[in-house]
Amino acid sequence: MGWALDMENKNTSANKVAIVTGSATGIGYETAIHLARNGFYTYATMRNTEKAEDINEIASRKNLPLSIMQLDVTDVVSIDAAIDAVIKQSGRIDVLVNNAGYGLFGSIEDMSLQELKAQYETNVFGLFRVTQSVLPHMRKQHSGTIINISSLAGRVGLPLSSAYVSTKFALEGLSESMAYELRPFGIKVVVIEPGAIKTRFRSERPAYVTTSPYLNMTQSTLQVLEGMVSQGIPPKEVAQVVISAINNPEPKLRYVVGKDAEEIIEASKILPEQELFQTISQTILKG
């Protein structure tokens, strides 16, 4: 376990405390840094702490109240150990940002059930496990904010992203239901829905066979999506929205981030289904 600051010499219990999963890069990295800059004692968690060099360096250089902690969202032992350590060291948890996740790209026919299950283990069950471990402490405080990082793909289906999209749809429903359950205990739930992000977001693809009927579609669509990502917004814009939601005494349930996400989600509300289908097909599938 690597520490950016000397824990023994910092009275963290006097500060608000935040936990961010998947903090090695991208949205998680920027959110952890922004939380620390805004006065939260922040635990930047990740599965592999060897990837913490960048965030550890900036935290040390800027003297930010931030620590690196190992947490694998697919391992309940790792989760409970991390949450127990936070409570022992800081005495409370005010914010949980469920960010850890990755995208599985490809047709549903080309992927294996094992690949699909792995996608859910991280993107859905990982969020479920970490939230369950944190909730008793937030209930005891009668306060807390849970931020779930969703996506444009949590509101609109996208081609060749069936696995990823379905995990984000699941996250949306889970979050909306949680909001009802947790509000009586003083706990707020917020969903962040970014569009394309310039980030080293972990993306995996099923092993394709050259005879796949989806091969040409997959190759051309991947090129389009990579172009969209190259033009995406920086992760810090998502982090800024996260901070704004946390600081709002009455936050909205959902925050859309990025012009592309705003336009597509708005179109999904007003366009007939067939017209929306054609628009997305022409944009991404080029046909």
Domains belonging to the chain, first-starting first, are 7-285 (3.40.50.720)
pLDDT at 10: 43
> DSSP alpha helices (H): ranges in the chain?
26-37, 53-61, 76-90, 113-120, 126-141, 162-182, 215-230, 235-247, 259-270, 273-280
Q: What average pLDDT does the segment 37-41 reach?
A: 96
Looking at 50-59, 147-156, 183-192, 209-218, which range is the least confident one? 209-218
pLDDT at 6 over 60: no
- b/e per residue, 31-41, with b = 16+ CB within 10 A? bbbbbbbbebb
Q: Can you tell me which residue has the tokens 């936070």?
A: 86
Distance in angstroms (rounded) separating the CA atoms of residues 212 and 107: 10
The band of 208, judged by pLDDT with boundaries at 50, 70 and 90, is low
Give the whole-number percent of the chain exceeding pLDDT 90. 78
71-94, pLDDT tens digit by residue?
Answer: 999 999 999 999 999 999 999 999
The band of 13, judged by pLDDT with boundaries at 50, 70 and 90, is very low
Supply 76's token pair.
Answer: 């309940």
pLDDT at 204 over 80: no
Distance in angstroms (rounded) separating the CA atoms of residues 218 and 212: 10
Looking at 51-55, 113-117, 201-205, 229-233, which range is the least confident one? 201-205
Distance of CA 137 to the CA centre of its chain: 21
Report yes or no: 62 and 87 within 8 Å, Cβ to Cβ.
Answer: no
Distance in angstroms (rounded) separating the CA atoms of residues 194 and 189: 16
Cross-strand pairs, 97? 20, 147
Which of these is catalytic: 29, 164, 180, 255?
A: 164
Distance in angstroms (rounded) separating the CA atoms of residues 228 and 208: 23
Q: Can you tell me which residue has the tokens 């963290």?
A: 12
Alpha carbon separation from 99 to 29, 153, 185, 222 (Å, rounded)? 10, 15, 23, 23
Supply 16's token pair.
Answer: 């608000």
Report yes or no: 49 and 1 within 8 Å, Cβ to Cβ.
Answer: yes
Look up 164 and say whether it is catalytic: yes
- The SS3 call for residue 189 is strand
The band of 183, judged by pLDDT with boundaries at 50, 70 and 90, is very high
- b/e per residue, 74-106, with b = 16+ CB within 10 A? ebeebbebbbebbbebbebbbbbbbbbbbbbbb
Looking at 54-68, 110-124, 193-207, 252-266, which range is the least confident one? 193-207
